[in-house]
Structure 1
Amino acid sequence: MDLQKFLTDAAVLVIGGVATVSAGYYLIKDDIRNYFRLKFGRQQKEENPQLLSLRLQAHERLIVFVERINPSNLLIRLHQQGVSLKDLQAILLNEIRSEYQHNITQQLYIGTATWNVVKQLKDDTIAMLNNGVKNLPGDATGVDLSRMVLQHMTGVENNPYDLTLDLIKKDIHQLF
């Protein structure tokens, strides 16, 4: 008889304990979920739709910027027949700097790491053009600079312009 009373009391306690724990979990389950989202970095991307639109536009503009300073596009777009080496250099550098100044505010809407890569790409492009001019003889033409830069780009194993575009796209995908 004592065994039956013991089992009855144990069952009542277990059922009461399960009910208490279930009720407690139900009351604080949202707090638990938020805690784990914050702890493990899985915050939902709940942004103002207007801010999201601005961030997407900033990424789009940076993609256009990277494409416009890519030497293969830049040289085709700006090359003029018979232009001198120094004139082509000035035209190219002015275009890159102008494009950069036009897009400088986009850093407000993208990640710091992505912005730093875009900025470094701009600086590397300018350095590549300046080094190309330094390595050419004094009587070289704009065509010689174009040829040298494009040959250099074909020899690069990982195209930095493509890598930067991939980084921007990854940054976009983190918004969703």
Structure 2
Amino acid sequence: MEQLEQLFPYFALIITALIVGAVAFLFFKKHTENEENRRRYLLHKDAQGKLLPLRLQAFERITLFLERMDLNKSVVRIKPRNSNVEVYENDLINGIEQEYEHNLTQQIYVSAEAWNIIRTAKNATIQTVRQMAMNEKNDSADKLRESLLNNAMAGVSPSQKALAFIKTEISELF
């Protein structure tokens, strides 16, 4: 019994030391987690500051692509070389495809949804050109051109819809 009474102060010291150690461990663990989160935040903030101008530049390039791809502008910009409908159809489609390929790298700066909408707009525009070229009324490149212009003026083009989405995505950046 006497030995137990002599060991009691040592047990009290050990228990106190364990409690202090546990509190210190939890404090330092929480402190290091907060520091890590702060460093991540600062890195993210720094990256955003550098990335925002690049993203805005990509949106500018995409806007230019969508404007150039719009049939109203494509038909005016790409003139028929001769009266052959197939040649003019291929010229229009090649012009759109070249613009698209020139801007492929911009997809890393926009959301996957935005890029899918841009790609869909390109494909829909090409499909419109092909459908109009298959119309028997369009037996010359000039008639195809006129039909494409009339069709483009009749409604909202796929590139205009994509441009509206892009404007929405840009507004979310700010």
Structure 1 runs (4+) greater than 4 angstroms displaced: none
CA distance in 2, matches of 1:94, 1:51: 32
Aligned 1:1-176 pairs, distance under 5 A: 46=45, 47-80=47-80, 82-137=82-137, 140-156=139-155, 158-176=156-174
Q: Is the 8 A contact 1:78 1:91 kept in 2?
A: yes
Aligned length: 132
CA distance in 2, matches of 1:136, 1:99: 29
**CA root-mean-square deviation:** 2.1
Structure 2 unaligned segments of length 5 or more: list them: 1-33, 35-43
Q: Is the 8 A contact 2:70 2:160 kept in 1?
A: no
- Report the Cα offset of residue 155 of structure 1: 2.2
Q: Is the 8 A contact 1:85 1:133 kept in 2?
A: yes
CA distance in 2, matches of 1:105, 1:151: 33
Structure 1 unaligned segments of length 5 or more: list them: 1-30, 32-44
Q: Is the 8 A contact 1:65 1:100 kept in 2?
A: yes
- Report the Cα offset of residue 48 of structure 1: 2.8
Amino acid at match of 1:65: F
CA distance in 2, matches of 1:160, 1:124: 7
Normalising by structure 2, we get a TM-score of: 0.69
CA distance in 1, matches of 2:120, 2:87: 24
Normalising by structure 1, we get a TM-score of: 0.68
Query: Which moves more between the two structures, 47-56 or 66-75?
Result: 47-56
Matched position secondary structure for 1:48: helix
CA distance in 2, matches of 1:152, 1:143: 14
CA distance in 2, matches of 1:128, 1:115: 20
Identity %: 30
Amino acid at match of 1:163: K
CA distance in 2, matches of 1:91, 1:173: 35
Amino acid at match of 2:96: I
CA distance in 2, matches of 1:81, 1:56: 37
In terms of Rg, which structure is larger?
2
Deviations 1:122-155 (A, max 9, x none): 0001110011111135x81111111111222222
